[in-house]
Chains A and B, each alone.
Chain A
Amino acid sequence: MTWFDLLGFGPKGWGLALLQGALMTLLVSMAGLIVGAVFGSLVAWSKLSGNRPAAAVGSAYAAVFRGVPELLVIYFVYFGSSALLTGLANLIGIEGFVGVPAFAAGALAVGVISGAYQGEVFRGAYLAIQRGELEAARAVGMPTWLMFRRIIAPQVLRFAIPGLGNLWQVALKDSSLISVTGLAELMRVSQVGAGSTHQPFVFYIGGLALYLVLTSLSTRVFDVAEARATRGLRRPAS
């Protein structure tokens, strides 16, 4: 079998399986980024709130998940959540082991890691909002929630795009570690293909190339998004 047969779409080709793996990588990374956005906004809020205990919790969370290997976090979330779920299930009378789906555990793990970094991105984005706009919103009598929805959220998203773009790349690459839980994402499919055909080089090169496609395409997407989001902004002459 030539390289072309192995990676192609013929009857013995792994092309489709690899593409499906790439799709799964995209999905689990997106889910991770969204979970991370939830954790990240909580961290940003805790640091901006002026509430000392909240800020301490936020900082501790960020420090821990930045200081511990991603692989360890994935194992911990995967094994830990399954053990927790099994315990809960036994409590309500369901016997035996209850596993958390690999997708959910993976997205949660990538999410808590990403959230530790997204906190800083959101905090920086919030601080980049012109103070005058917040004062103006208060002056016209906007309640806090309306001000958040109309003034703060759109601008935080705008200023956060470059930082989120970087973290998206990190999430994409971290998602490869979810392969240890058996989720059929790109890394795992490459591994299975390498094992069953005894052609590891072909499959790891193919998988690597697909990762490069994913990362370079998403760089484009974020560039376009940034250009669109900032089209109304005046910029210093360049």
Chain B
Amino acid sequence: MDLAFLSMTFLRLLAALPLTLEVWALSVAIGAVIAMGLTWMRVSGSKILSAISRGYVFVFRGSPLLIQLFLIYYGLSTFAALRASFLWPFLRDAFNCAVLSLALCTAAYSSEIFRGALAGVPHGQVEAAKACGMSGFKLFRRIIFPIALRQALPAYSTEVISMTKATALVSLVTLWDVMSVALKIRNDTAVTYAPLLVAGAIYFVLNFLIARAFIAVEYYLSAHLRRRVV
């Protein structure tokens, strides 16, 4: 194991990083939107919507992401009707299936986080806002959302970090992300440890940066809670 090999490995893995980041960013963003919908359904007061949201969370949190991914990528293609439909050009592509299943999975976890954050908004704040005459969307935008966002951040950062780790699964559906390139280098060169160690370091640094970013956002959003420097 020499320096030239390490730097070659590092550069090749770095070249695969954009795909990992793309899968990660898209699935986190789409997952967040779905999660908000699920949370809204859960707190909507409608029994049917709430039951659907609960069922969704039960299924996607109770089973491994890998089987969900395989169900979508390999399973859906069984249906001739689906293969003939307009959805097929989308679902035929491994990248789309990967993003879709990661997004569906993280949505279940995130919606529980969002629900907890909503439940943690102090009642007095909402009452005060109502007493001032705020209601509906304005109440949500000005009072509930900012407080809930701040409360959701610590748990949500954990979820977002677990998503970077989950992107490694896309290596099992033919995509060339950091994980699969590391395995390829390992296979081609028969060097056991180095490629996986370098890949691990890349993931670790990525997660470290994401964690830092969340801490910075949390710090920025809680300016009024910090002790005043006189």
B67 engages A69 (CB within 8 Å): no
A68 engages B186 (CB within 8 Å): no
Residue of B nearest to A174 (CB): B64
B97 within 8 A of A: no
| Nearest CB of chain A from residue B180's CB, rounded to whole Å | 10
Contacts of A68 in B (CB 8 A): 165, 200, 203-204, 207
Main secondary structure of the interface of A (DSSP, over half): helix
B179 engages A201 (CB within 8 Å): no
B76 engages A69 (CB within 8 Å): no
| Nearest CB of chain B from residue A120's CB, rounded to whole Å | 12
Within 8 A of B (CB), among A173-220: 173-177, 179-180, 187, 190-191, 194, 199-202, 204-205, 207-208, 211-212, 215-216
Residue of B nearest to A214 (CB): B62
Q: A79-B186, A194-B74, A211-B67 are in contact. Are A67 and B161 (CB under 8 A)?
A: yes
B64 engages A176 (CB within 8 Å): yes
B183 within 8 A of A: yes
Among candidates B67, B74, B77, residue contacting A208 with C-beta atoms closer than 8 Å: B67
B193 within 8 A of A: yes
B193 engages A72 (CB within 8 Å): no
Within 8 A of A (CB), among B163-198: 164-169, 171-172, 179, 182-183, 186, 192-193, 196-197
Contacts of B67 in A (CB 8 A): 176, 187, 190, 204, 207-208, 211
A205 engages B75 (CB within 8 Å): yes
A180 engages B203 (CB within 8 Å): no
Contacts of A124 in B (CB 8 A): none
4 further A-B contacts with Cβ under 8 Å, apart from A68-B165, A68-B200, are A69-B167, A76-B193, A208-B68, A212-B62
Taking beta carbons and an 8 Å cutoff, which residues of A are in contact with B? Answer: 64, 66-72, 75-76, 79-80, 83, 169, 172-177, 179-180, 187, 190-191, 194, 199-202, 204-205, 207-208, 211-212, 215-216
